[in-house]
Amino acid sequence: MVRGLVRRRGSLSPPQTSQQTLEEIEGDINSVNLASSLADCDAVINLVGIIYERGTDTFERVHHQGTINLVAAAKQNGVKRFVQMSALGARPAKATAYHVTKFAAEEEVRNSGIPSVVLRPSLIVGPGSAFVQQMVDVMRAAPFVRPVPGTGKYRFRPVHLDDVIECFAQSLSNPGATGQAIDLVGAEELTLDEIGDEITAVLGIRKPVVHVPMPFMNAAAAFFSLLPIVPPVTSVQLRMLEEGSTADAGAMKRIFGIEPAGFREGLRRYLAPQSR
């Protein structure tokens, strides 16, 4: 049986077979009764994360403090395995608050005494991909041109959702993954411009590219941060964009025995229905 901690019941997809059972429990990673949600659980997978801060939901509170709470609840219930979703580029300093708090959360898991695995995916491509969908929305909404932040030369190695799921599933029992922090990336490294070109090719969008200088993008992000709306872009996102997100796939291949899908292949699987 799988138990999912969710904000609203019905937010998870139903099991694919009759042999699988899914139980949804409404709650929050920072709730005082978190321990009761983990009763009788053998393993924990922590997928909680945010890409922008809003109100009390800060990177520190959600990524770091939330993981502290979850680790404590796991120890209280005798959990035997802890799999933590981090992010490629997570590190303790000289990084965005997003990456610093992701690393701090990793440290809580590593020092918990529970056998654990940390997975650090690059940009994820597939249903629910916030990054790709954000690019699609901008491409469709912008009149006459296709705006691209900065130079467009920032490098990424997007990983397909199916490969990420396989790695998480294996992490629950794969002894070779225990105690490791493993980068999850796809088979192809592309620039932001190349990613945009592939998306427009699949969707049939034909607009000339206009590169928007980063000072203008950051000014826009600062303006949107003052409004009571979900920001289309934040200064943290822009900094991460400039940094890129790429790594070697060697450990992923060796430990999990998979050949990651290429970006183009994964993109067509995901976006082709939207082009109809």
Three-state secondary structure readout of 198-235:
HHHHHHCCCCCEEEECHHHHHHHHHHHCCCCCCCCCCH
In a domain, 174, yes or no: no
pLDDT at position 106 over 80? yes
Q: Which of 98, 121, 144 is a domain's end point? A: 121
In a domain, 260, yes or no: yes
Which pLDDT band holds residue 25 (cuts at 50, 70, 90)? confident
Q: Which of 121, 138, 168 is a domain's end point? A: 121
Taking all residues of the chain, what is their mean pLDDT, rounded to a whole number?
92
Task: Give the number of domains in the chain.
Answer: 2
pLDDT of residue 130: 85
**106 and 137 housed in the same domain:** no
**147 and 218 housed in the same domain:** yes
In a domain, 165, yes or no: no
Stretch 35-62: mean pLDDT = 94
**20 and 70 housed in the same domain:** yes
**101 and 111 housed in the same domain:** yes
**130 and 222 housed in the same domain:** yes
Which pLDDT band holds residue 272 (cuts at 50, 70, 90)? low
Give the pairing of strands 22-26 and 209-212.
Answer: unpaired
pLDDT at position 276 over 70? no
- Please give the residue that has the higher pLDDT: either 19 or 257: 257
* Percent of the chain residues past pLDDT 70, beyond the cut: 96
How far apart CA 22 and CA 34 sit, in angstroms, is: 18
Residue range 174-187, pLDDT digits in tens: 999 999 999 999 99
E strand map for 39-126 = 43-46, 81-85, 116-121, 124-125
In a domain, 167, yes or no: no
**41 and 81 housed in the same domain:** yes
pLDDT of residue 258: 95
pLDDT at position 11 over 90? no
Residue 113: CB partners within 8 Å, gap ≥ 6?
Answer: 75
pLDDT at position 112 over 60? yes
Q: Which of 155, 154, 152, 157 is nearest to 188 (CA)?
A: 157
pTM summary value = 0.92
Which pLDDT band holds residue 207 (cuts at 50, 70, 90)? very high
- Please give the residue that has the higher pLDDT: either 69 or 3: 69
**50 and 94 housed in the same domain:** yes
Stretch 100-113: mean pLDDT = 98
pLDDT of residue 6: 83
**102 and 198 housed in the same domain:** no
Stretch 120-149: mean pLDDT = 91
In a domain, 205, yes or no: yes
8 Å CB contact between 167 and 230: no
* Percent of the chain residues past pLDDT 90, beyond the cut: 72
Q: Bin 94: left if φ > 0, else alpha if -120 < ψ < 50, else beta.
A: left
**76 and 110 housed in the same domain:** yes
For residue 105, what are the domain limits?
1-121
pLDDT at position 19 over 70? no
8 Å CB contact between 170 and 162: no
In a domain, 89, yes or no: yes
Which pLDDT band holds residue 273 (cuts at 50, 70, 90)? low
**116 and 154 housed in the same domain:** no
**152 and 272 housed in the same domain:** yes
Q: Which of 100, 121, 142 is a domain's end point? A: 121
In a domain, 176, yes or no: no
8 Å CB contact between 73 and 37: yes
In a domain, 216, yes or no: yes
Domain of residue 10, CATH code: 3.40.50.720
Domain of residue 213, CATH code: 3.90.25.10
**31 and 144 housed in the same domain:** no
